[in-house]
């Protein structure tokens, strides 16, 4: 369960009903609205079960927003030390083309027991192409039966999909689904299912929050409330920086995904909402000085976990737990901000589990959909990201005229 503990009052927005109606009219583009009815988890679970019989480790090859929230869910539910345990299925997410990072990964992989999940929806992503070509060579050096070590996630109209399907396990998704909005698709569900995360439960819990995210009453709709507050403080009080400040180190990657979600969706066409992230209590000792004494251009979104899975007492009398201390420190941070008239929206969830992470990600996606309507922008494109990709490809073709990564990767 997720709820708002405290939030500043803002004037009612007469457009609330129209905003919800307009979002529903664009349901075809906002595919995630009906994810609970469109995703076939059984097909994914059955396919992954076969992988689990043959492999102990999955390495996901990709780049960008898709990697951020998968890592976020993995760290939230399994924690950072998961891969150090000997008896578990392991998951490594490679969203880098740094030689040192790839070399570090190679040192700890048992290639013969590893399956690589290649995620490039369009197939044109240079970083993923290069990762795949490199690791394909590593596998081919060890075995002639190398194809069983790879599976793919691509768009349904991917140029080489039929060719891939003749040799590999291929998962597809609709062509209108972009990276940062591909939560709850095979992009996300295949890696998580491999490490025994209950993806059925996650999809089921989306249904439980769906009606509230479609409510025209902002008091019953957290996503709409967050969007209205973001819009109000940007337009009326010039709060152009949004700081996501969860009080759990397990939520660090959620902050990274939320930054990307806001930055790539909203920062365009003259709307300059800049996302930042911090972690309580750590960043009370680093960033808080800037937030308190710096420019008053920020809106804060905090998040606390009501109940930890572990109760650890600090004192001999066992009167003070680390959880209680964490909440007291959060109270101190929020109070110091509010006392300086800095707006703070405080969210809470009862515990870290599949239900809450599914609902939180769903709420944040709806928030972006409502901001799309409020700011009257296209929240689903990223023109400057695309311009960078074009220049990169032109430079690569100029420096390596005889190299065609697309052909080498997919014309097998």
Task: Tell whether the model's pLDDT for residue 340 goes beyond 80.
Answer: yes
3-state secondary structure (DSSP) of residue 114:
strand
- Residues sharing a CB contact under 8 Å with residue 97, sequence separation 6 or more, in sequence order: 63, 127, 130, 131
Percent of the chain scored above 70 by pLDDT?
Answer: 93
Q: Residue 314: pLDDT band by 50, 70, 90 thresholds?
A: very high
**Model pLDDT for residues 174-210, shown as the tens digit of each residue:** 655 655 666 788 888 999 999 999 998 888 888 888 8
Report the C-alpha gap between 319 and 172 in whole angstroms. Answer: 53
Sheet holding 274-277, edge to edge: 2-6, 344-349, 298-305, 241-246, 274-277
Alpha-carbon distance 16 to 374, whole Å? 9
Instruction: Please say whether the beta carbons of 303 and 253 come within 8 A.
Output: no
125, 1, 116: which is closest to 64 by C-alpha?
Answer: 125
**321 DSSP assignment:** B
* Cβ atoms within 10 Å of 124's Cβ, excluding its own: 16
Who has greater pLDDT, 322 or 400? 322
Structure tokens at 234: 């940007």
Residue 241 has pLDDT above 80, yes or no: yes
Give the tokens for residue 375: 């700011």
- The mean per-residue pLDDT over the stretch 366-381 comes to 83
pLDDT for 51 equals 96
Do residues 240 and 274 make contact, with C-beta atoms less than 8 angstroms apart? yes
Instruction: Report pLDDT for 379.
Output: 67
This prediction has a pTM of 0.87
Bridge partners, residue 94, by sequence: 61
Helix (H) or strand (E) holding 43: helix 41-54
pLDDT tens digit sequence for 62-75: 877 667 778 878 88
Q: b or e along 239-259 (b: 16 or more beta carbons within 10 Å of the residue's beta carbon)?
A: bbbbbbbbbbebbbbbbbbbb
Q: Is 90 left (phi over 0), alpha (psi -120 to 50) or beta?
A: beta
Averaged confidence pLDDT in the chain: 87
Alpha helices in 79-125 (DSSP H): 99-108
Summarize pLDDT for 251-310 with one digit per residue, the tens: 888 888 888 888 888 877 778 888 999 999 999 888 988 888 889 999 999 999 988 877
35 closest CA partner among 213, 170, 158: 213
Residues paired with 267 in a beta bridge: none
Q: Where are the alpha helices (H) located in 196-251, listed in sequence order?
A: 199-213, 222-237
Q: How far apart are CA 113 and CA 117, in angstroms?
A: 13
> Above pLDDT 90, what percent of the chain?
41
Residues 4-28: tens digit of each pLDDT: 999 998 887 767 778 888 887 777 6
Cα torsion through 227, 230, 231, 234, rounded to 10: -170
User: Would you give the DSSP letter of residue 17?
Assistant: H
Count Cβ atoms within 10 A of the Cβ of residue 88 and give its class: 0-12 exposed, 13-18 middle, 19 or more buried. middle
Name the residue among 125, 122, 146, 156 with its Cα closest to residue 61.
Answer: 125
Cβ pair 40, 225 in contact under 8 A: no
Domains of the chain: 2-26+204-375 (3.40.50.10490), 32-200 (3.40.50.10490)
Burial category of 152 from C-beta neighbours within 10 Å (exposed 0-12, middle 13-18, buried 19 and up): buried
């Amino acid at each position: 369960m997720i709820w708002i503990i405290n939030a500043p009052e803002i004037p009612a927005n007469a457009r609330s009903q129209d905003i919800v109606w307009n979002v529903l009219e664009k349901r075809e583009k906002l595919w995630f609205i009906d994810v609970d009815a469109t995703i076939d988890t059984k097909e994914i679970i059955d396919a992954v079960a076969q992988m689990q019989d043959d492999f102990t480790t999955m390495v996901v090859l990709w780049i960008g927003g898709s990697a951020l929230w998968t890592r976020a869910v993995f760290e939230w539910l399994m924690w950072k030390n998961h891969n150090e345990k000997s008896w578990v299925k392991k998951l490594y997410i490679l969203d880098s083309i740094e030689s040192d990072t790839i070399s570090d990964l190679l040192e700890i992989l048992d290639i013969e027991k590893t399956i690589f999940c290649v995620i490039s929806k369009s197939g044109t992503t240079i970083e993923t192409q290069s990762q795949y070509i490199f690791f394909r060579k590593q596998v081919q050096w060890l075995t002639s039966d190398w194809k069983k070590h790879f599976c793919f996630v691509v768009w349904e109209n991917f140029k080489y999909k039929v060719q891939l399907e003749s040799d590999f396990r291929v998962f597809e998704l609709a062509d209108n689904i972009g990276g940062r909005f591909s939560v709850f698709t095979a992009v996300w569900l295949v890696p998580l299912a491999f490490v025994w995360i209950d993806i059925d439960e996650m999809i089921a819990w989306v249904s439980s929050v769906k009606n509230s995210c479609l409510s025209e009453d902002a008091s019953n709709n957290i996503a709409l409330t967050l969007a209205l507050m973001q819009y109000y403080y940007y337009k009326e009080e010039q709060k152009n920086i949004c700081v996501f400040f969860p009080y759990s180190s397990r939520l660090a990657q959620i902050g990274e995904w939320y930054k990307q979600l806001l930055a790539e969706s909203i920062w365009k066409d003259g709307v300059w909402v800049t996302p930042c992230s911090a972690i309580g209590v750590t960043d009370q000792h680093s960033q808080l000085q800037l937030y308190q004494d710096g420019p008053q251009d920020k809106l804060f979104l905090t998040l606390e976990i009501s109940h930890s899975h572990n109760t650890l007492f600090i004192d001999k009398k066992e009167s003070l737990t680390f959880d209680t201390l964490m909440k007291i420190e959060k109270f101190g941070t929020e109070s110091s901000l509010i006392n300086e008239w800095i707006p703070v929206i405080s969210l809470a969830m009862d515990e870290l589990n599949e239900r809450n992470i599914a609902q939180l990600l769903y709420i944040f996606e709806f928030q972006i959909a409502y901001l799309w309507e409020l700011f009257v922008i296209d929240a689903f494109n990223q023109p400057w990201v695309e311009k960078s990709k074009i220049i990169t490809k032109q430079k690569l073709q100029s420096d390596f005229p005889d190299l065609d990564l697309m052909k080498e990767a997919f014309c097998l």
